[in-house]
Chains A and B, each alone.
Chain A
Amino acid sequence: MSGAKRLALTDRIGVAAIYAIGFLSLALLVAPSLIVVAISFDTRSYVSFPPVGFTFDWYVKLFATPELIRAMWVSLKVGLIVTGLCLALGVPTAIACVRGRFKGRQALSVFVLFPHMVPGIVLGIAILFAGATIDARPSIGLQSLAVACFILAVMIRIVMARLMRLDVALEEASANLGATRLQTFRHVVLPLLLPAIWAGAAFTFIEGFDNISVAIFTHGHRDRPLPVELMSLVQNDNTPMVAAVSAAQIALSVVILGVVSSTLGLEKLND
């Protein structure tokens, strides 16, 4: 075999091996969720794959379990409060970080993006302690504030990224044409920012709904959110109902994925 041919062969084998690992990884990313969805329809009362029958019983049972319904409401509330807080606090902050002309603008960006470097478990414990010193007991409110603090940086970063790409000339043109600041914001800046705001809202909502690292230390004792309920369910229940709860959560994440991909676009999200 000539040298060139051997080189071509090694090249082909090497690239094929990399592709094979790539496809394996993609399969490993997707398969577990599909297995969970399949199991949630199984007729047997224990968890095993592949399922042998088809039934909606576990979903019926799930919606007949008051603790789970309550947990979903708690998580929904927290998700909405977190989204509201992050919108109200995050969007103006992103504007100041990008359009601001003041000393310490860099420092401001570092400060507001820092919380995402603090591990959720540490932030959760710290807020639990801080609450305990002023008699602010764990509750839906405390949990919402804590998770919002944890995830605010994500909202700020998504909006900042979009703002940096917007041409300032558009805003100047609007002002030159006699638009007031309010008009410029409503008719120029806001429409251009909306995709980022929607994507940020989707992310902060799912974090508020799903977060466990912060939530487990700050949730109210009677208001257990879904992730906390699910964590103990996974440890104590061996029926496919756990798979049904999980499948419901997977369905929610598909909806959120749809929102993000139809607003900001998945490609832009990762730039």
Chain B
Amino acid sequence: MLDVLARFANGRGFWPAIPAVAFLTVLMVIPLVLLLSFGFSDIVVARGVIVSQDFTLDHLTKILGDRLYLLTFQRSINLSLSVTALCLIFGFPVAYLYLRSGTFARRAILIAVIAPLLTSGIVRTYAWIVILGGQRGIVNRTLLDLGLIDAPLRILNTHWAVLIGMTQVHLPLMILPLIAVMTRHDKALDEASANLGASRLQTLRHVILPMSVPGIGTGATLVFTLSYTTFVVPQLLGGGNYLNAATMAFEQMVYSLEWSKGAVTSTLLLVTCIFFIGLFTWASQAATRWIRQEGVA
């Protein structure tokens, strides 16, 4: 193993990458091309093996003409945009706290942000079932005890539960890029602004916020794409009656076994997802350019 690696080590050639390129071609490129082609064919499955395919535009035209799909994808986009906005609102202050903290507090914040990322999403979603769940849930019991409500609120298995849970689960993905860009710029810029008599809010508004734009772009892209494509949170907190694009593809593939439809839904998911990544990247670059032109004002 070591010898093989060693021969790669100081090499200047392409060949150390050949195994990975071959691996990704077989496991990613070919399957994605197949997936795309399956949207245009009738899939017949016999004992787990796909045996016959005929070219047809039926599935695509049926799905593109179906209002259910339009509504479902719209719901996904709305949800993901809301989650992205909420993550920014709750995430930015954490990054600001980090910027203002000493070594020890910074370490504690990093642990609090990275630890959830290493914990299974199902576990973190399950915690929200406990918190939001029926009468015995923490939220409802507290509100009932305080006399703020007479009957338990129905939060679990609604849009709100999905929104709350998804925001918390994806929050670290917004905070980490923000911390990275904020700390990359020297504290000096910030101090210079304070020395020139700017208040902390003015420094935040005119120095820290503009320089955070690339981080907001990266964070928003990560949060949006994951919110757009995860089926775990909607499936568990939406209680099976919350349908978005990801849960739709999931149900077509796993429960109703409509593979042709599943192929089209997941292709649409991929194409729209890449479109949004492009859009977010473009917006972030445009905003950065605009700020640079205007100067830090």
Give the B-binding residues of A (Cβ under 8 A): 7-8, 10-11, 14-15, 18-26, 28-30, 32-33, 35-36, 39, 46-49, 85, 88-93, 95-97, 99-102, 104, 108, 111-112, 114-115, 117-123, 125-130, 132-133, 135, 137, 145-146, 148-149, 152, 156, 171, 175, 181-182, 184-186, 189-190, 206, 210, 212-213, 216-217, 227, 230-231, 234-235, 242-243, 246, 249-250, 253-254, 256-257, 260-261, 266-267, 269-271
Contact = CB atoms under 8 A, between A and B. Distances in A.
Interface residues of B, number: 104
B5 A216 contact: no
A22 B229 contact: no
Contacts of B230: 121, 213
Contact of B136 (A48, A97, A111, A257): A48
B180 A149 contact: no
Contacts of A91: 5
Interface of chain A, main secondary structure: helix
A89 B126 contact: no
A14 B201 contact: yes
Nearest to A23: B97
Contact of A25 (B27, B90, B277): B90
B31 A123 contact: yes
Nearest to B232: A212
A257 B116 contact: no
Interface stretch (B66-74, B103-111, B145-153, B285-293): B103-111
Given A92-B19, A117-B277, A257-B114, A102 B12 contact: yes
B263 to A, nearest CB: 7
B199 A127 contact: no
A115 B270 CA distance: 12
A29 B20 contact: no
Contacts of B172: 29
A93 B16 contact: yes
A246 B111 contact: no
Interface in B131-190: 131, 133, 136, 138, 168, 171-172, 175-176, 179-180, 184
A185 B204 CA distance: 46
B225 A25 contact: no
Given A89-B20, A96-B13, A181-B6, 7 more contacts: A19-B97, A115-B24, A119-B270, A135-B48, A213-B232, A227-B122, A270-B114
A118 B18 CA distance: 21
B95 to A, nearest CB: 8
A130 B106 CA distance: 46
A97 B11 CA distance: 11
Given A121-B266, A122-B269, A29 B168 contact: yes
B257 to A, nearest CB: 12
B11 A121 contact: no
B207 interface: no
Contacts of A46: 136
B27 A146 contact: yes
Counting chain A CB atoms within 10 Å of each CB, the highest count among B90, B93, B138, B171 belongs to B93
B127 interface: yes
Given A33-B123, A133-B34, A18 B96 contact: yes
Contacts of B96: 18-19, 22
Nearest to A228: B122
Nearest to A156: B20
A122 to B, nearest CB: 5
Interface string B228-241: 11111001100000
Contact of B129 (A33, A114, A125, A234): A234
Given A117-B274, A126-B34, A257 B225 contact: no
B283 interface: no
The 5 A-B residue pairs with the shortest CB-CB distance in the complex, in nearest-first order: A32-B127, A185-B9, A119-B229, A22-B93, A92-B16
Given A7-B199, A18-B93, A96 B266 contact: no
Nearest to B167: A28
A184 to B, nearest CB: 6
30 contacts: A18-B204, A21-B93, A25-B94, A32-B168, A33-B119, A89-B23, A92-B16, A93-B19, A93-B21, A96-B11, A108-B14, A111-B21, A117-B273, A119-B229, A122-B266, A122-B270, A126-B32, A126-B34, A127-B27, A130-B27, A130-B34, A130-B35, A133-B50, A152-B20, A185-B10, A235-B236, A242-B126, A249-B120, A257-B115, A267-B110
Given A14-B201, A132-B48, A270-B180, A33 B127 contact: yes
